[in-house]
Structure 1
Amino acid sequence: MSEGSGGSVTVDRAAGLRMFDEFRAAHPEVPRRDDVEVVCWGDEPAYADEIAGLITTGAKRATATLAAGYLAYGEPFPPLGAHWVLCDGAGSPRAVLRTTQLRLGPFHSVDEHFARAEGEGDRTLQTWLDGHRAAYQRQCARIGIEFSEDLEVCFERFTCVWPPELAD
């Protein structure tokens, strides 16, 4: 789940769980889970606000994370169909999201449709490649591996399911 799972942003987990409970009250078919993640994407408040804004406006419906990052930090891959709460740069919940598609593949296997769905920059494949190559090179240096375009990436698509005015 990490495009930076919080960094210097402290999420309000209690408020996030309250938002998830509101969602569940409106959708009783969704099973209760005690392990709902309440996350912030971005390692600083301004970036977290930018990502939350892209999601709440509908521009961002995908993310990509190095598989080696999940392994290095001992995090599980996101489960297909899981619901989770996204917070902004103040740590406040903004939306409940649901993972709808997962694909593991090498970095170089990304296509223009996925780059567009990720919603950042000018949404082109070249911008996606340039930005993610730089970010993954920094991450690889932190975890002690060499970056290669053959490294596995978890390509994740999601929908916004709550609040109702933002739902896809």
Structure 2
Amino acid sequence: MTEQELWAEFCSKKNIDIDTPYEAWGFGGVEEGDTDRLAELVIKGVKFGTASSYDEYVMEDVLDELPKPGDYSVILDSKDEAVCVIRDYDVYVRAFGDVPPFHAYAEGEGDRSLKYWRNVHTDFFKECLDETDMPFNQESKVVCEKFSVEYIPGKELPEDELLFVEPSMDFAKEIAAYRQEMLDAGSSFDGCFSMKRMPDMQEYVDYCIGWANPRREADEHGAWGNVLLVIRKSDMKMVGCMQVHSVLTERMKKYTGHVGYSVRPSERGKGYAKKMLAKALDFLSSFGFDEVYVSCLPENEASKKTILANGGEFMETVYLEEDGVNLEKYRIRL
């Protein structure tokens, strides 16, 4: 199927104006077969991110063509056959050395680790800039995109899909609305990092980005991790929030574990927490963990069911003295 045929079919089935702009392209790589292999990862739902060299846009004087949220693309294979339609929902430009682990996971390659991503993309970006006088190093800027699959010929896609998004000002209104609803309901801000004490969305977004930066110096707590906004694709509403810790403090090791999460009060009881924890576990597997620890209050039956549904094994009840609460600690083997 040609790109034009697939685009026309997509627009017809999804009631989208056929004159809506889109790009058609195939994934690049340094090895033979990368174009088809990466397209197949998209079809399987493993790959939902990609990256390109910002310097190439500068060199070609086409900065106005930088991708942005909402952009459509038709993905091509090595024979220029169209395989699917995708749409960007998260785009940012960042120094290569600052790209966080979740983006590496989103690219879906190898073991999905940041180390693997850096190794593969160092070669890729050097090749991209090989015919220019621009060097590639840790400070070179890259364009990071996250996308959702909008259409695959002959395949039904889930209508209740959740998107997992790194905090950015593109979602500032949703974060603010989520925060207010949590405050109004008197809910605990589990998995929200410092959202409760940060009404300034720019401050909160910057804080989350800094926490995930693999090059930052360790603070007094020594923890690293990623905050993930959980966005319902059908209406782009923020329905949940997660903290996923890849390096634990002593407090986390003894009590709270690798993952914290919450669901928006008006969206509870819809199975979102189970999907969120499953995604967090899959993400943590990219760090090489064999097992993950998660805790909940003994009286929180909903959280307990979520943990058990994801393979949780009860270990012990621990007393967190500084908060004056008991916590049930669970282990999940990956």
Tell me whether 1:142 sits opposite 2:131 in the alignment.
yes
**Could you tell me which of 63, 69, 76 is aligned with 1:80?**
69
Would the alpha carbon gap of residues 74 and 148 (structure 1) be closer, same or farther in structure 2, given more than 3 Å must change? same
Q: Which one-letter code corresponds to 1:26 in the other structure? A: K
Whichever structure has more strand as a proportion of its residues is: 2
Shift of 1:148: 1.9
Between the aligned residues of both structures, percent identity stands at 23
CA distance in structure 2 between the partners assigned to 1:19 and 1:87 by the alignment:
10
**Could you tell me which of 34, 51, 55 is aligned with 1:64?**
51
Correspondence list, 1:114-125, <5 A: 114-125=103-114
Alignment check: 8 A CA contact 2:21 2:72 kept = no
Alignment check: 8 A CA contact 1:17 1:36 kept = no
Alignment check: 8 A CA contact 2:105 2:113 kept = yes
CA-atom RMSD in angstroms: 2.1
Count, aligned residues: 154
Tell me whether 1:42 sits opposite 2:28 in the alignment.
yes
CA distance in structure 2 between the partners assigned to 1:25 and 1:59 by the alignment:
27
CA distance in structure 2 between the partners assigned to 1:41 and 1:58 by the alignment:
15
For 2:84, the equivalent position in structure 1 comes to: 95
Q: Which one-letter code corresponds to 1:152 in the other structure? A: K
Would the alpha carbon gap of residues 95 and 148 (structure 1) be closer, same or farther in structure 2, given more than 3 Å must change? same
Q: Which one-letter code corresponds to 2:54 in the other structure? A: A
| Structure 1, 33-42 or 113-122: larger mean CA deviation | 33-42
CA distance in structure 2 between the partners assigned to 1:149 and 1:46 by the alignment:
27
Q: Secondary structure at the match of 1:165?
A: coil
Shift of 1:133: 1.4
Shift of 1:107: 0.6
For 2:42, the equivalent position in structure 1 comes to: 55
For 1:160, the equivalent position in structure 2 comes to: 149
Between 1 and 2, higher relative CO (CA 8 Å, sep ≥ 6) is seen in 1
For 1:5, the equivalent position in structure 2 comes to: none
Tell me whether 1:32 sits opposite 2:18 in the alignment.
yes
Q: Secondary structure at the match of 2:88?
A: strand
Alignment check: 8 A CA contact 2:54 2:141 kept = yes
**TM superposition score normalised by structure 1:** 0.82
**Between Structure 1 and Structure 2, whose CA radius of gyration is higher?**
2
Would the alpha carbon gap of residues 45 and 31 (structure 1) be closer, same or farther in structure 2, given more than 3 Å must change? farther
Alignment check: 8 A CA contact 1:86 1:94 kept = yes
